[in-house]
Structure 1
């Protein structure tokens, strides 16, 4: 079994904001695999189902971003899973809008949700799919990440969510190296990688 958690903030006021890219990617994954997100447990909105032969739990923690680790640690403990059974999808201001990056371990990179997860599970060896949201000079970081996507960004992010789903599929099927080879290249906005 694998846990796939998308990071974001709960509530209508945060819908379609840059910081909720992880939630949006989970929605895309749930739609593709017909996994209803209709359970409330582990301080999260969840859905369980299968991706191929692998049982998965999709999670959207409802703890607010800075406490995402509480929900994820609770789920890992409940299912007696290791951090290596976890895939986290989240926004990254250090990537251009629409880019994605796959990593199997690492630091928080300054992301508060990731910092919370690393602290709560006492480790950093778990897969992550980063979705680029870029950053804008002259705006505070919090003001930027909590802002809504522009129309042009939304087009790029739509493709990024599809690519994130493809990356997660490769991770689930044990093809982490391929996922990194395909998605960690510097790709110009609007270009598509062949799988």
Structure 2
């Protein structure tokens, strides 16, 4: 059973609406009324049944924050659900799975390094690959206008998938 939802992103305003920050965008959209407080090297909030964490350590060091929260609350790796961007999935596709390859994602690499495992549940949010140019530039760019218009529908799809996350692995959904 999931005990901590982790939303990957970068903490500064300049990255707020970029593809790499879609994890944070999901948190802000799904939990707009929660009181987020600095704790465990991140922004922390709590619902009746879940703890929520947005690491403040920048993407490449996310594992430090997640490890601190797991240690404090005695949460096992398989009780984590990590929400993150994914280049390997087209925009509008989300996939829920346990473990899996890291696909060069530095935030996931940091989690694996600090948790000594990659067996956490992942909600992969497709951002697509750039047709040309560097991947590092692409992930730090804002979504296109068309993608921004579709984001609220994508967030609804994500919310529905998260409600089923304990009983429905693996799962894939796509915006039509």
Q: TM bucket by the smaller chain?
A: over 0.9
State which of 124, 129, 144 in structure 2 corresponds to 1:130. Answer: 124
Once the two structures are superposed, the pairs formed by residues 113-124 of structure 1 within 5 Å of their partners are 113-124=107-118
Note if 1:155 corresponds to 2:136. no
- Structure 2 residue aligned with 1:145: 139
Distance 1:166 1:18 in 2: 21
Give me the whole-angstrom Cα distance separating, in 2, the residues matched to 1:155 and 1:132: 15
Whole-Å Cα distance in 2 between the matches of residues 138 and 175 of structure 1?
A: 39
**Structure 2, gaps ≥5 residues long:** none
Query: Aligned-residue CA RMSD in angstroms?
Result: 1.4
Give CA-to-partner distance per residue, 1:80-138, whole Å, 9 cap, x none: 11011100000001111111011111121210000100110001111100111112222
> Partner of 2:30 in structure 1?
29
Structure 1's unaligned 5+ residue stretches are none
CA distance in 1, matches of 2:122, 2:149: 23
Name 1:98's counterpart in structure 2.
92
CA distance in 2: counterparts of 1:118 and 1:157, whole angstroms: 28
- Is 1:63 matched with 2:57? yes
In structure 2, distance between residues paired with 1:121 and 1:170: 25
> What is the CA-CA distance between 1:148 and the residue it aligns to?
0.7
2:78 is aligned to 84
Alignment partner, residue 175 of structure 1: 167
Structure 1 residue 3: Cα displacement: 0.5
> 2:106 corresponds to which residue?
112
The count of aligned residue pairs is 175
Residue 47 of structure 1, aligned match among 45, 48, 55: 45
Structure 1 residue 156, shift from structure 2 partner: 2.6
Q: Helix, strand or coil: the match of 2:47?
A: strand
Contact 1:28–1:165 (CA under 8 A) maintained in structure 2 = no
Alpha carbons 1:131, 1:160 under 8 Å: kept: no
Of 68-77 and 103-112, more deviation after overlay is shown by 103-112
Question: Is the 1:30–1:58 contact (alpha carbons within 8 Å) kept by the matching residues of 2?
Answer: no
**1:14 aligns to what?**
15
